[in-house]
Amino acid sequence: MSNIGERIFKIKSYYFGDERGSNKKFADVVGEKPNTVSNWFGRKDGIGDAVIDKILSTFPNVDKGWLVGGNGDMSVSYTHLRAHETRRHLV
């Protein structure tokens, strides 16, 4: 099972890829500094509710159970089409 930091990194990679500048794009969209989100990626244990809420409000198709505990799939069931819409909107 992955840890919370790895799951947050997976969200970043899904929407923005892994190329140079993707961490900054992710940080800009969630309204944080790049150093802050880099710290999130390194977390192995719990993360604050405010961070969880910020990520889920920015990426509403991410499943909360998956993000918090690694249970199930990253996306809620209706998201394949919505992810493309959201990805277009964010980039």
Across 8-23, average pLDDT? 94
pTM of the model: 0.80
Residue 4 has pLDDT above 80, yes or no: yes
Residue keyed to tokens 């959201």: 86
Phi, psi of 36 (to 5 degrees): -65, -50
Instruction: Report how far residue 83's alpha carbon sits from residue 60's, in angstroms, rounded to the nearest whole number.
Output: 9
Residue 46 has pLDDT above 90, yes or no: no
pLDDT of residue 44: 85
pLDDT of residue 65: 93
- The CA distances from residue 73 to 19, 35, 82, 83, in Å, are 24, 27, 15, 14
Query: How does pLDDT run across 20-32, given as a tens digit for each residue?
Result: 999 999 999 999 9
Q: What whole-number percentage of the chain has pLDDT above 90?
A: 71
